[in-house]
Structure 1
């Protein structure tokens, strides 16, 4: 059976809702559909926008002959962690990263790897 838009519509893709700390409102992301997001001033608006984005994402992938992942096919470890920290700590991390000439992500990754190395080596 060919997997068409109707097939993917009936699948239950899990999504994550988070506050949009930059612009206010909310962001909805589908972990299984990379870069497929919806936004809105309320959670309901963000979910509705995300459902429209999901359908358009799948349509575009099918038209371009790009494989559409099914729910749960994403690797368990994708290298991405969302972390909330106090503003003061965020400022310290960004300033230290600037002094080192790297991004905040690179700096935090380095610190974590150093800490993990001390514990497990």
Structure 2
């Protein structure tokens, strides 16, 4: 069995797509591979496409391999007629026919819809998994940031400022005095007796 490493994936023939796009007032060439979600680059010349997409593919594959994520292989482009013979048990045939009748569509249309829904659900599961991983990353980042500032003076000041803002209006009015037309509020030190 062939080892699926970086060299293996780099040798596969993916279908590279290009599209001219305008960003602000500049024109670029968007280059992407439909089978590799998130792999997208922008170049200014068609001469740069091959070199830049190969560099981006290498980084994308290396990242996915390091994270032990699945890497889709190229979809084979073989001319198909669109016709297929499907064998199934009589009981399954009866069930599928019943549901197609319930939907008011032909058996062929119903089977096509089931297959498409299966593909869509599979792709959606991949998208949901990537979104979950992004959410986990954000949670980890928040925990790290929270932990870093937990014992710092800045965090103490933030607590004081937030606490000062939370002081009830009645308490502030009771403790205020006026001098030269300005309302004077207790200092944070007075308020919290630091």
TM-score computed with the length of structure 2 as normaliser: 0.36
Aligned positions of 1:52-91 closer than 5 A: 52-72=55-75
- Is the 2:10–2:58 contact (alpha carbons within 8 Å) kept by the matching residues of 1? yes
Asked if 1:38 corresponds to 2:5, the answer is no
Asked if 1:6 corresponds to 2:7, the answer is yes
- 1:47, 1:20 → 2: CA distance? 18
- 2:41, 2:53 → 1: CA distance? 4
Moved segments of 4+, more than 4 Å: none
- 1:61, 1:50 → 2: CA distance? 16
TM-score computed with the length of structure 1 as normaliser: 0.56
- Is the 1:4–1:62 contact (alpha carbons within 8 Å) kept by the matching residues of 2? yes
* 1:88 aligned partner: none
More RCO (CA 8 Å, sep 6+): 1
CA 29–44 in structure 1, closer or farther in 2 if over 3 Å, else same: same
Instruction: Give the length in aligned residue pairs.
Output: 76
- Is the 2:10–2:57 contact (alpha carbons within 8 Å) kept by the matching residues of 1? no
Coordinate RMSD, CA, aligned: 2.1
5+ residue gaps in structure 1?
79-121
- Mark the structure with the bigger radius of gyration: 2
